[in-house]
Homo-oligomer: A and B are copies of this chain.
Amino acid sequence: MDSVKIFLNEADMPRSWYNIQADLPKPMPPVIHPGTRQPIGPDDLAPLFPMGLIAQEVSQERYIEIPEEILDIYKLWRPSPLVRAKRWEKALGTPAKIYYKWEGVSPAGSHKPNTAIAQAWYNKEEGIRRLATETGAGQWGSALALACNFFGMECKVFMVKVSYHQKPYRRLMMEAWGATCIPSPSDQTRAGRAILEQDPDTPGSLGIAISEAVEEAATRDDTKYSLGSVLNHVMLHQTIIGLESLKQFEMAGDYPDVVIGCAGGGSNFAGFAFPFLRDKILEGRETKVVAVEPQACPTLTKGLYRYDFGDTACTTPLIRMHTLGHDFIPPGIHAGGLRYHGMAPSVSHLLELGLLEAKAHPQTACFEAALSFARAEGHLVAPETSHAVLEVMDEALRCKERGEAKIIAFNASGHGHFDMGAYERYFAGDLVNYEYPEEKVQEALARLPAIE
């Protein structure tokens, strides 16, 4: 097929999500209760999540059927196109073939609604009428606002302060879909007030905003909590991306040698990569799978694989993951969605098993790569996505050096329409690169709970 874009018809959409837990060569370490230090059970999570999602969190079934009502909403923009980046290949002069999955077509402009719709639906099914959450760049918050809107539910979003001010349009988008959005840390929670007391000028962090949203859900009977990344059920819902891509690659008559995604909490990466990892595990495919993170928040490349809290106030269960320490506050880089101290435990586990690789890149080089992509392919991607774009460019240029015609695939997780202020700072030469020093990793280690 000689098409640039490979469209999948709605009739051919995947009807199930893929659960990688069924296929892990070694099971994931248990999640630990912060009080008892024993593995947690479903009841421990019940104050925060509906049972439908808790069941998915621990499920060992390989495929989980997507409810019809969720599929119906997916169809507003899915299946998303898989696009062959022929013009970019030519601009780079590479013999490699580059494909990208374009998640920027969703109403919120990113992959985030794939799980937001599912989470809101499972809550609605159990009678929940209100959700609280946090958001970094605003992509997750707007996705959950959109989802709650579809089911007539209330939505409260704690937005990391630095992004709240950098991206006012994201907040307005949430409001257009009926949600309430406030900057975090806020004075509306104990966790927020405690942080503000210590440092009134903090830029905020995802860890802090999670503490606030969890507190709101735990202290209000009418409210549950919703997380946009990290957890198993979130990764599960996102696999619609990779499952569609596999069908589209079959239509194109290709299969990728290299699969790349950016990783903050891990959900767009996992959603794209896990179905390819299934083939790697079950069929022995030799696919190179790469998660790309910012040098300013190098969770996978410099963090430790240890038990840690998901939030700053130490209120969540303890999960084993790559972490920079729950009190790590990353610098205010523009890829707000990648500023998380931890990483999805499933992604962390797969890295430990050697099934994937991790890379870290500085933000200015990422913006430069994003412009190379935009000038060839048109689309301006989000700063988060630009990390994947740079890794693809590096891989394509290696192919050029070696004369290798590899097939490279990446997840273009979102557009940058709400991030033009970041591009402006890049053009002005105002962006600084941060590298996380080794000694800080040691300090973080000392602060982690002693669980092995």
A residues whose Cβ falls under 8 Å from a Cβ of B: 3-5, 7, 9-11, 72, 75-77, 83, 87, 105-109, 146, 149-150, 168-169, 172-173, 175-178, 371, 374-375, 377-380, 415, 417-418, 420-421, 423-424, 427
A76, A146, A375, A421: residue with the most chain B Cβ atoms closer than 10 Å:
A76
Check if B75 sits within 8 Å of A4, measured CB to CB: yes
A374–B423 CA distance with the chains assembled, in angstroms: 27
Check if B423 sits within 8 Å of A377, measured CB to CB: no
Q: Which residue of B lies closest to A374 (CB)?
A: B176
A76–B100 CA distance with the chains assembled, in angstroms: 12
Candidates B9, B106, B178, B379; contact of A107 at CB < 8 Å: B379
Candidates B3, B176, B371; contact of A176 at CB < 8 Å: B371
A72–B149 CA distance with the chains assembled, in angstroms: 38
CB neighbours (8 Å) of A417 from chain B are: 109, 169, 415, 417-418
Contact flag A423-B172 (CB < 8 Å), given A4-B75, A76-B4 = yes
CB neighbours (8 Å) of A379 from chain B are: 107
Check if B7 sits within 8 Å of A7, measured CB to CB: yes
A371–chain B nearest beta-carbon distance, Å: 7
Q: Which residue of B lies closest to A377 (CB)?
A: B76
Check if B7 sits within 8 Å of A3, measured CB to CB: no
Check if B420 sits within 8 Å of A173, measured CB to CB: yes
Check if A169 sits within 8 Å of B420, measured CB to CB: yes
Check if B418 sits within 8 Å of A107, measured CB to CB: no
Check if B3 sits within 8 Å of A173, measured CB to CB: no
CB neighbours (8 Å) of A109 from chain B are: 417
A244–B31 CA distance with the chains assembled, in angstroms: 52
CB neighbours (8 Å) of A424 from chain B are: 168, 172
Check if A375 sits within 8 Å of B75, measured CB to CB: no
Could you list 13 examples of A-B contacts with CB < 8 Å? A3-B10, A5-B76, A5-B77, A105-B105, A107-B380, A149-B375, A168-B424, A169-B421, A172-B427, A175-B427, A176-B380, A176-B427, A417-B418
- Other A-B contacts than A172-B420, A172-B424, 19 sampled, CB-CB below 8 A, are A3-B75, A5-B10, A7-B7, A76-B87, A76-B378, A107-B374, A107-B379, A107-B380, A108-B378, A149-B375, A150-B378, A168-B424, A172-B423, A173-B380, A175-B427, A176-B423, A177-B375, A178-B375, A417-B417
Check if B9 sits within 8 Å of A7, measured CB to CB: yes
A178–B75 CA distance with the chains assembled, in angstroms: 35
Q: Which residue of B lies closest to A370 (CB)?
A: B176
Candidates B83, B146, B374; contact of A378 at CB < 8 Å: B146
CB neighbours (8 Å) of A77 from chain B are: 5, 378
A4–B342 CA distance with the chains assembled, in angstroms: 38
CB neighbours (8 Å) of A105 from chain B are: 105
A159–chain B nearest beta-carbon distance, Å: 15
A262–chain B nearest beta-carbon distance, Å: 19
A173–chain B nearest beta-carbon distance, Å: 6
Check if B374 sits within 8 Å of A177, measured CB to CB: yes
A134–B342 CA distance with the chains assembled, in angstroms: 48
A248–chain B nearest beta-carbon distance, Å: 12
A75–B4 CA distance with the chains assembled, in angstroms: 6
CB neighbours (8 Å) of A421 from chain B are: 169, 172
Q: Which residue of B lies closest to A10 (CB)?
A: B3
Q: Which residue of B lies closest to A375 (CB)?
A: B149
A72–B378 CA distance with the chains assembled, in angstroms: 13
CB neighbours (8 Å) of A175 from chain B are: 423, 427
CB neighbours (8 Å) of A72 from chain B are: 4
A171–chain B nearest beta-carbon distance, Å: 9
A378–B415 CA distance with the chains assembled, in angstroms: 16
A11, A106, A178, A374: residue with the most chain B Cβ atoms closer than 10 Å:
A374
Q: Which residue of B lies closest to A376 (CB)?
A: B150
A106–B5 CA distance with the chains assembled, in angstroms: 13
A75–B427 CA distance with the chains assembled, in angstroms: 29
A10–B75 CA distance with the chains assembled, in angstroms: 20
Q: Which residue of B lies closest to A74 (CB)?
A: B4
